[in-house]
Amino acid sequence: MEIFDALMQGFATAVTPQNLLLMMLGCVIGLFVGAMPGLGSVNGVAILLPVTFLVPPTGAIIFLAAVYYGAMYGGAISSIMLGIPGASTAVATVFDGRPLAMQGKADWALVAAAVGSFVGGTISVILFTLFAPPLADFALKFGPQEEFALMMLAFATFIGLGGDDIPKTIFSIALGLVFAAVGLDEISGQPRLIFFDIPGFYHGINFLVLAIGIYGIGEILWTLETSQGDVRVSQASFTASRILDAFKRLKSSTVSIISSSFLGYFVGILPAAGATPASLMAYGVAKTMSKDPDSFGKGNITGVAAPETANNAASTGSMLPMITLGIPGSPTTAILLGGMIIWGLRPGPLLFVNHPEFVWGLIGSLYMANLFTVIINIAFIPLFVSVLKLSFTILAPIIFVLCIVGGYAPTQDLHDVWLIVIFGVVFYLLRKLNYPVAPAVLAIVLGPLTERALRQSLVAEQGNVATFVERPLSAIILVLAVLLIVLPVIKMTKHKKKSAAADDGPEADES
């Protein structure tokens, strides 16, 4: 009951007029920041950090956490409505969110995103409340070997994502991995793959650059081509009964939403992972577990709910190592951590003891921020949907400009803008050749994390590969990964044999 008392105290802190106002303001700013391509929660929190030195630390963290939180919701909006990931955490939301919007079911996708976010956020904040100290101990057990195993698990969840054509999927993954390797090698500090000695490659290829290229520019080209210029996005008529309908449809996603909440939370608390891998993994798991995996990528409502649930759960999760261990679980929490140090609050195991009003105030406000954002989100759905009423000849230039600005904003380097355009065209062509593009996006996100963990493990163990299976935790995760790879492959070969037998073979070559 001690926790309960502390939590009540936290609520009391969170509902003081000033903190409540800061929380609401933060959520709204976050929604906007998240919805603007290129402006993610990282930028939002970094820009607003100095402003918070004007209020007490508890108010400041409530405000910034609300921005972080709101951005997780906001990212879904542009992913669904415009087909450009508003933030890196919302890339997986595009996979099914965009097709849904094109089919005139944008409101369903938005409801799925909002409800998923709410459930994910709430479950993870409850876990946070009840099990913070033991979970922090668990996060400590994660060394480089375990991180590597976890990344293998993430790749495994995606093996089925590319569809039936395994060679093309592997090609796509390899392409992503090559892009991920560009820049300075983290272990030796040496430059790698600096094409034509262009200095812009020194900072590597940001994953958002690839994602905006593929889903922003590539999508415009795709839509223009398939429609021969005569684009009519089917409009969503928005009524209360449709919203209710959306809720009913979401029932089929219940299992997925709940499992994504736990998945997102656990990936979030592990240092160095964060909400982006969490949302991609949740998507992969949802697809693998689905009875109808073929409908993913073509407008499956679970494909929106799962990643959105996971990214909110992970954003809450990543606050745990920040507060208890002083290590950021995501780039955004790295900035929040900086803020805490400047406010004179030393993160670490003793923060709960020394500054309970701060920690519990934050936790209390997370519950409220969740409720608040889901309400404004659903209330604004008609407004968001009205974007689709614009004709595509107006919408396309707007999307194009947003892509360019979104690519320029994070690094302020025109080099990245050119890359976006090139990626847009190249991946549009690849798509025409039936290459799946999502695996490339996954690879560029997970590639650097995987490489780092692999090399750290091997350096530390002087090249002993057995270290991955000698450590129990990493061995367990690796076994799970192998299972996840094997299952869909078996399913697929069975499926192929069947269809091959039915059609007497020829189709197998083509697909």
Partner 1 sequence: MTKPSILRRLVLLPMVALCSLAVTAGSAFAWEPKKPVEFIIMAGTGGGADQMARLMQSIIQKNDFSNQPFIPINKPGGSGAEALRYLQDKSGDDHIVMITLNSFYTTPLQNPGLGVDISTFTPIGRMALDTFLLWVSSDSDIMSLDDYVMTVKEKNKDWKMGGTGQGQEDSLLTGMLQNKFGFEVTYVPFPGGGTVAKNLIGKHIDSTVNNPSEQLGFFEAGKSRPLVAFTPDRLKQFPDVPTSGEAGHPDLVYFMQRSINAPPGMSADAQAYYIDLFKQVFDSKDWQDFCASDGIFCDEWLAGEDLAAYHTAEKAKHEELLKGMGLIQ
To partner 1, the closest distance from the beta carbon of 49 in angstroms equals 5
- Residues 118-157 interacting with partner 1 (rule: CB under 8 A): 139-144
Site string for partner 1, 191-210 (x = CB under 8 A): x-------x--xxx------
In angstroms, the first-to-last Cα distance of the chain is 59
To partner 1, the closest distance from the beta carbon of 47 in angstroms equals 9
Indicate the residue among 55 and 376 with the shorter CB distance to partner 1.
55
Question: Which residue in 168, 431, 452, 496 binds partner 1 (CB under 8 A)?
Answer: 452
42-49 long-range Cβ contacts below 8 angstroms, 24+ apart: 42/331, 42/332, 42/335, 42/410, 43/409, 43/410, 44/68, 44/71, 45/332, 45/335, 45/336, 46/335, 49/335, 49/338, 49/339
Check: CB of residue 383 under 8 Å from CB of residue 78: no
To partner 1, the closest distance from the beta carbon of 320 in angstroms equals 12
Check: CB of residue 313 under 8 Å from CB of residue 268: yes
Site string for partner 1, 356-395 (x = CB under 8 A): ----------------------------------------
Indicate the residue among 46 and 285 with the shorter CB distance to partner 1.
46
Check: CB of residue 251 under 8 Å from CB of residue 398: no
To partner 1, the closest distance from the beta carbon of 41 in angstroms equals 11
Site residue total, partner 1 (CB under 8 A): 53
Q: Would you state the torsion angle of the CA atoms of residues 168, 173, 176, 181, taken in this order, to the nearest 10 degrees?
A: -130
How far is residue 77's CA from residue 110's CA, in Å, rounded to a whole number? 7
DSSP string, 226-256: HHTT---PPPPP--HHHHHHHHHHHGGGHHH
Check: CB of residue 62 under 8 Å from CB of residue 361: yes
- Residues 331-350 interacting with partner 1 (rule: CB under 8 A): 331, 333-335, 337-339, 341-342, 344, 346-350
Indicate the residue among 216 and 271 with the shorter CB distance to partner 1.
271
Question: Which residue in 8, 130, 174, 187 binds partner 1 (CB under 8 A)?
Answer: 187
To partner 1, the closest distance from the beta carbon of 447 in angstroms equals 14
71 binds partner 1 (CB under 8 A): no
Least Cα distance to 139 among 274, 47, 254 occurs for 274
To partner 1, the closest distance from the beta carbon of 306 in angstroms equals 28
To partner 1, the closest distance from the beta carbon of 507 in angstroms equals 47
- Residues 462-491 interacting with partner 1 (rule: CB under 8 A): 462
240 binds partner 1 (CB under 8 A): no
To partner 1, the closest distance from the beta carbon of 276 in angstroms equals 15
Indicate the residue among 42 and 161 with the shorter CB distance to partner 1.
42
How far is residue 455's CA from residue 187's CA, in Å, rounded to a whole number? 8
SS3 string of 428-444? HHHHHCCCCCHHHHHHH
Q: Would you state the torsion angle of the CA atoms of residues 217, 438, 407, 388, taken in this order, to the nearest 10 degrees?
A: 50
To partner 1, the closest distance from the beta carbon of 190 in angstroms equals 9
456 binds partner 1 (CB under 8 A): yes
Indicate the residue among 188 and 228 with the shorter CB distance to partner 1.
188
To partner 1, the closest distance from the beta carbon of 316 in angstroms equals 18
Exposure of 5 by Cβ count < 10 A (0-12 exposed, 13-18 middle, 19+ buried)? exposed
Q: Which stretch binds partner 1 (CB under 8 A): 25-33, 81-89, 113-121, 455-463?
A: 455-463
To partner 1, the closest distance from the beta carbon of 278 in angstroms equals 18
Q: Which stretch binds partner 1 (CB under 8 A): 106-114, 322-330, 418-426, 483-491?
A: 322-330
Question: Which residue in 277, 303, 328, 424 binds partner 1 (CB under 8 A)?
Answer: 328
DSSP bridge pairs for 198: none
In this structure, the number of other CB atoms found within 10 A of the CB of residue 240 comes to 7
DSSP bridge pairs for 318: none
- Residues 242-281 interacting with partner 1 (rule: CB under 8 A): 271-272
Indicate the residue among 142 and 372 with the shorter CB distance to partner 1.
142
How far is residue 351's CA from residue 355's CA, in Å, rounded to a whole number? 5
Q: What SS3 class is residue 184?
A: strand
Indicate the residue among 350 and 508 with the shorter CB distance to partner 1.
350
**Residue matched to tokens 């939590």:** 7
Q: How far is CA 428 from CA 114, 121, 143, 313, 437, in A?
A: 30, 35, 39, 33, 9
Residues of the shown chain interacting with partner 1 in the complex, contacts defined by CB under 8 A: 42, 46, 49-50, 53-54, 139-144, 183-184, 186-189, 191, 199, 202-204, 271-272, 321, 325-328, 331, 333-335, 337-339, 341-342, 344, 346-351, 411-412, 452, 456, 459-460, 462
